[in-house]
A and B are shown apart, each in its own frame.
Chain A
Amino acid sequence: MNQFSHNELEQIISLYIDGELDPVETQRLEEYLSTHPVTAKEVELLRLSKRALSSRPQLAKDDWFWLKLSNRIEGSRPPRTFLSARPAIAFTSLAVMTLAIVGVIFMKDAPMFHRYFLEKKSQVESVYRNNIMTGNILPLFANLNKDDVLNFALFGSIAIDTSNKTSLQVKNSDESGSQIQIVRNDERIAVPVTMNDFADEIGINPFQREIVDSILGSYKEKLQASVLVSENDEVAIHAELVDLNRAMVSTIAACLEPPQRTKFQRFLDTRNAPYAVVAVNTPRVPSHIILNKIPKFSSSNNYVVISPDTVEIAQMTINVDSIREVARRQEMRYRKLMTERMVAELTERQRRMEENFVGMGQNRVRIHSSSGTFQIHFDHAAPAVNPEFEMVDMVKPRMYLPEVPRPITNRVTVIGETGFSFEIPADERTVRELKRLPKGEFRFEIVDSMMREPKMKLMFRSPSGRRKLDAKVRELNAKEQNLIDLDSLLRESDNSPEQVPAKPKKSGKEIELEIML
């Protein structure tokens, strides 16, 4: 019969549950256990504890760890004006101090106590507000280049994550208020425009290009500080962001000569940009005025701060140097990481609250989220970015994009009689209609368009005026533009009286299509 000393049994059981006991000893122990049920129960208990500990939930990987550590290693952590201490600690210590002081004063003089209390209360509130975002705070748009800024100016949209088509968009309107929204799976992300495209198409000279570069550079800083993401899942969005692209496009237009401004207007039109240049004939604003009047970044700013549970309007003090420093060190993967966290956090909010709002001055700021979209809505138009140098009349909102993007699933190539071709985005119904078109010779022209409606009419018409339209299409083909903008065709057509017939012929060959865009 197997017998073990107490110490020997302890050791052997420990090796046994680790699977480290040799076969001979294992057999010996198992025989022992079969006749000693109490020890067998103890062994089962140790197995249970081993299983419990080995399957213990692990801490998730901290994606911010490297960033935090590198800050400490480099010893270049940004000043605490930006990275603040825990608000609860600051709040509590100030409150305790206030109460102590107030107690003493109250004994002496009650009115004085009242005044003192109010002062301290406002100080405490100020501390709280200044500490609303805690931990590492990083600018979402730290690594912007000038093309990114140009695209934001032109389209009010900036790609946050191209891999899942997530973008931040701003819309400003006097009538319906203004909005900042984050849209996922955005099919409408515009084809990016480069500075070279812009310069070539508008025909700006090198000096003007330098001015535009300076304008973009100045606004880039504002854009970088406009969306901040904190480690504790708070997002702060500058209230002026909603007006930033209007200010930029307006300033760019101001530095152009009138003929260039006409081209700029066409440039914006053909790309369905949200603003149109209206002051085409206004003389160019001298460059020194433009450059002197571009608003510098002010260190104290109103932000809409969205935390997992609250929305606040907070005046935050931003250290621009720290943003530059972070921008220098921040890598793309952190931007992607922050984007994922921010978008996940913002869209998650819809589960917790459908809508909430806060007041900012006389305006109301409402937060909505729906499937794939997060929206901050200002009930009134956003405050002008640059009231001192306001060129309100230079540009105006051109058209509004539909609230919910309508996916366009098809592109149809239409081939004309002379071999020209163009592509149009088309829904299923349009595809069916186009397939029914008679084979052989046919002509087409856009004869009507309702600019503010997502609908256009195409009509196949009589031969008059055909030549010029064909020529226009050929010219576009020569530029290797695969996608012809229907708006621009329409305008060309409208501007050429000889091209538009008095009345379209009502013949059997006329086919009218409505294309939903």
Chain B
Amino acid sequence: MAKPAVINIISANTPNEQKSDDSLIMLFQSGEKEVFRYLLERYQEKVRNVIFSIFNDPDLVDDIAQEVFIKVYQALPNFRFESSFYTWVYRIAVNKCRDELRKKKVKRFFTFQSFESTTNIKIENLATVTFDDENIRSVIEDSLKKIPEKFRMPIILKDIDGMSYDEIAEVLDCEVGTVKSRLSRGRTMLKELLMPILV
């Protein structure tokens, strides 16, 4: 989804920390490579967390995040301001994660029967759960991992990263309707996994 480019007037007096993403990118494209650091500082935490959400393995996060930002660094000269930098970086991160998943042949097929949980937590009132009990959170995260990547990714971007449907569509490079439908399918799968354990 193309977004009109926003061209800001770059004030020489504005500190780099306060410049907009687009201004920093234009500076980068004009040769001031060092401004990349400010872009990285803004988004490294988000990117590392989205990777962490997908793999749930802190040991993998750093390597993949570095590769994401190296890719961003290499591709930034060709950035055409058609989307926000934020969603563009996310798209690169999500694609990188998908590559990694493929490389590792981590293919998780969702089957109701294959789920064998030793955890057996029954919750009386779902609305009052506070997640002080880490077991409940880990049950939910474990269940999320069992959902196919195609349906899991929208849930991660929506529920963990708080993105809008439009942003998810940009990141996943699909229509908003597809996002909604994958979200609802993914949630139904999640619900089916959680019902026998938590309710």
Contact = CB atoms under 8 A, between A and B. Distances in A.
Nearest to A8: B184
Interface stretch (A55-63, A197-205, A352-360): A55-63
Contact of A10 (B53, B62, B188): B188
Interface stretch (B96-104, B110-118, B125-133): B125-133
A451 B181 CA distance: 84
A48 B49 contact: no
Contacts of B140: 48-49, 52-53
Interface in B83-141: 123, 126-127, 129, 131, 136-137, 140-141
A14 B141 CA distance: 18
Contacts of A45: 126, 191, 194-195, 198-199
A509 interface: no
A44 interface: yes
Given A11-B181, A59-B58, A69 B70 contact: yes
A42 B191 contact: yes
A44 B141 CA distance: 17
A152 to B, nearest CB: 31
Contacts of B165: 20
B44 A62 contact: yes
Nearest to A65: B44
Contacts of B127: 44, 47-48
Contacts of A89: none
Interface residues of A, number: 34
A14 B62 contact: no
A15 B144 CA distance: 19
Contacts of A72: 66, 70
A65 B62 CA distance: 8
State which size class the interface on B falls in: 35 or more
B150 interface: no
A53 B187 CA distance: 12
A62 B70 CA distance: 16
Interface of B: 37, 40-41, 44-45, 48-49, 52-53, 58, 61-62, 65-66, 69-70, 73, 123, 126-127, 129, 131, 136-137, 140-141, 143-144, 155-156, 158-160, 162, 165, 180-181, 183-185, 187-188, 190-191, 194-195, 198-199
A14 B187 contact: yes
Contacts, number: 109
6 contacts: A18-B158, A45-B199, A46-B191, A53-B140, A55-B131, A56-B53
A13 B184 contact: yes
Contacts of B155: 53
Nearest to B192: A42
Contacts of B62: 62, 65, 68
A68 B61 CA distance: 13
Contacts of B187: 10, 13-14, 17, 46, 49
A50 B159 contact: yes
Contacts of A58: 45, 49, 52
Contacts of A73: 70, 73
B184 A61 contact: no
A48 B58 contact: no
Contacts of B191: 42, 45-46, 49
Interface in A12-42: 13-15, 17-18, 20, 41-42
Contacts of B158: 18
A66 B48 contact: no
A68 B66 contact: yes
A15 B179 CA distance: 11
Nearest to A54: B159
A467 interface: no
A73 B39 CA distance: 15
A54 B66 CA distance: 25
B69 A59 contact: no
B70 A14 contact: no
A141 B198 CA distance: 55
A432 interface: no
Nearest to B162: A54
Contacts of B61: 59
Contacts of A52: 129, 131, 136-137, 140-141
A439 interface: no
A53 B65 contact: no
A53 B144 contact: yes
B66 to A, nearest CB: 5
B129 A48 contact: yes
B70 to A, nearest CB: 6
